[in-house]
Amino acid sequence: MSGPEADLAGWSVAPFTGGGYTHDVYRKGSGPGVVLIPEMPGIHPGVLGLGNHLVDNGFTLAIPSLFGEPGRAVSTGYVAAVIARGCVAREFAAMATNKQRPVSLFLRALARDLNASTPGKGVGVIGQCFTGGFALAAAVDDSVLAPVLSQPSVPLPLTAAQRRDPGLSESELNIVAERCSSEGLCALGLRFSEDKMAPRERFRTLRQRLGDAFEVIEIDSSPGNAFGFGRMAHSVLTDEVREVDGQPAYEARKRVVEFLTARLSR
């Protein structure tokens, strides 16, 4: 059993260029804008299911295709191949600490473009897994009012320094922290308690730097947990969602909608 899924029906697609990069961007919906950055291995059916859910809740979605084949179902071999390519791509700098990643420039440009064509004073950005931290890096730009970091996994947490690293450069984090202090910017972070790919140390760093402006939802995935999440539970907003009231991933998805609605309707 997996989380809600969908296909590419109803999504328009066109290339978008920003920050020196060009990627296809899939768009759908009306209302305030949200950039949904896909998790590995790309715009898979679970990401599209999440996108359609956000569209149904009144948002205009823009999903950049940064890797993988849009619409393709997830398989072990497919995931491994895409991750291998992503890990060596300069655009993502998957291993580097204290790093401004080139993809953040593209995402900021996309956020500004979406903001210009949607109602409200700014947009939301959701990053997931490999792209989780990219959402916070996008919030360097003042068009971003609601960054959501779901199981942020870059830099890949192989060393203690990588586990502590917030996923963006010190200069970028300083700008985001200043926005939190002076503008009331808030960020939302999601993870499973036993997820080593989205380490607790990273969340601790972000909490230390952003204070109460960083809201954390940590879902219990310890052995014997009440909802039966496995020790490998990772994708909070896609794979692990079951649309049953009280199910923690489902409730986390509800909180994301509430967060986006509140921040983008100001």
**Residues with Cβ within 8 Å of residue 139, at least 6 apart in sequence:** 125, 147, 176, 179, 185, 187
> Residue 2's pLDDT band (boundaries 50, 70, 90)?
confident
* Fold (CATH) for 18-264: Rossmann fold (3.40.50)
pLDDT tens digit string along 197-251? 999 999 999 999 999 999 999 999 999 999 999 999 999 999 999 999 999 999 9
Average pLDDT, the chain: 97
Give the domain ranges of the chain.
18-264
pLDDT of residue 23: 98
pLDDT of residue 1: 66
- The H-or-E segment that residue 5 falls in is none
- What mean pLDDT do residues 161-184 have? 98
**Residues with Cβ within 8 Å of residue 239, at least 6 apart in sequence:** 2, 3, 46
> Residue 265's pLDDT band (boundaries 50, 70, 90)?
confident
Structure tokens at 66: 């940064």
For residue 179, the one-letter residue type is R
DSSP string, 45-82: HHHHHHHHHHHHTT-EEEEE--SS-TTPPP-HHHHHHH
Q: List, in sequence order, the alpha helices (H) in the chain.
A: 45-56, 76-88, 102-116, 134-138, 160-164, 170-183, 200-210, 248-264
Tell me the pTM.
Answer: 0.98
pLDDT tens digit string along 139-154? 999 999 999 999 999 9
pLDDT tens digit string along 74-115? 999 999 999 999 999 999 999 999 999 999 999 999 999 999
The upper half-sphere exposure of residue 158, i.e. CA atoms within 13 Å in the direction of its Cβ, equals 7
pLDDT tens digit string along 110-128? 999 999 999 999 999 999 9
- What mean pLDDT do residues 180-202 have? 98
pLDDT of residue 266: 66
**pLDDT at 260 exceeding the cut of 70:** yes
